[in-house]
Amino acid sequence: MKNRFLATLALAALMMACHKDDVTAIRPTVVEPASFAGLTTRYAPPVQVFEFDPTVAQTFTSSGGARLEMQANSFVGTDGTAPTGRAVLHFQEIYSPAEMILAERLTMMGFHRGLESGGEFNVSLNEKVTGRPLRLSVRDGVSSRKLRLQSPVPTRVLNSPALTRMIEWTPSVSNPSFWVEIDTLSLDGSNGHSANPLGTLPVPFVPNTGGANGSFITSFWPNQLGWLNIDTYYPFGTQTVWVFLQTEAGGDETRMFFVPTGINGAFQPVSTPTNNLAMLENIPLGAELTAVVIRVQDGKYFFGTQKARVTPSIVYRPVLEQVSEEELVRRLRLL
């Protein structure tokens, strides 16, 4: 009887210990207060890192399917001297409107006009040990054809007339939020713009085998590297109008965007003197846009969209509702 009693006590103690362990293992999820900076930090397309020997030809394939090929001895420091030891390449790729919004790399040129993107890419290099920045070396005034990018065609561009009209763009020196065309004057790193753009670069390459989506291929980069955008002009149309986006008053942070249906781009309207009202110019009548508003208020996210075709004097007024960060990102990716 005594042995049975001791065995029962031992079993009860074991059950209590197991129950205690189970309870201890269940911890509440820590939710950070909402902020646009936190949102973009956690959900912007990640920076991919590749380590290599810069004296040897290299080929890297990104997680998104882009292929980077570089010649040996193609990089130097800002003082023109060869790198010492191994180098590190940082690469970021963007293919969709959601990624453009989350990375804050919108498809806008000067005069607040939109562009259609075949992909946005950011490349930087540095020495592994010293951290010294590296750039493409220049020979005979040209830094091209030393770094070759072959990138996949985004799904939204596959059936677009823009497929064969893509050209290269880099951030404007005067306003990095805008893109300017790369031309022969910008290959030395000046990011200038002249009347003689390279035009049809990068050359679209769409193979006829296996139902492949094809790819864009380019070997032209400013020697300082940085951002490169494979873009073309948004089809403005013969009749264009201003479109307006209005939000409710309040909030700690508010971001407003337009995403065109069937066009691979994300536009940012410009604020007006009227509170909570922004506008975007040169949008074709009849085009379909989705207005997107992200608001942070009292440590929470609020999100709203409205899809409608453009008519004269149209004003988009999305209704905002509170959402979790994960739900906000999910809805962005559905645009």
Contacts 24+ apart (CB under 8 A), 270-273: 270/112, 272/244
Structure tokens of 55? 């004296």
Question: Per residue in 189-212, pLDDT tens?
Answer: 333 333 333 334 444 444 433 344
Q: How far apart are CA 172 and CA 192, in angstroms?
A: 8
Mean pLDDT of 21-33: 45
Q: How far apart are CA 239 and CA 311, in angstroms?
A: 11
Q: What is the reported pTM?
A: 0.82
Residue ranges in the chain assigned as alpha helix (H): 2-25, 36-43, 97-103, 325-333
Question: Per residue in 136-195, pLDDT tens?
Answer: 987 655 555 688 888 888 988 887 777 777 888 889 888 888 998 875 433 333 333 333
CB 106 within 8 A of CB 40: no
- The count of residues in the chain is 335
CB 236 within 8 A of CB 146: no
% of the chain residues with pLDDT over 90? 53
User: What is the model's pLDDT at position 25?
Assistant: 36
User: What is the model's pLDDT at position 111?
Assistant: 77
Q: pLDDT at residue 4 above 70?
A: no
What's the half-sphere exposure (Cβ side, CA atoms, 13 Å) at 91? Answer: 22
Please tell me what DSSP assigns to residue 149.
E
Question: Per residue in 317-326, pLDDT tens?
Answer: 999 999 999 9
Q: pLDDT at residue 299 above 70?
A: yes
| Helix (DSSP H) and strand (DSSP E) numbers for the chain | 4, 22
Q: How far apart are CA 40 and CA 119, in angstroms?
A: 18
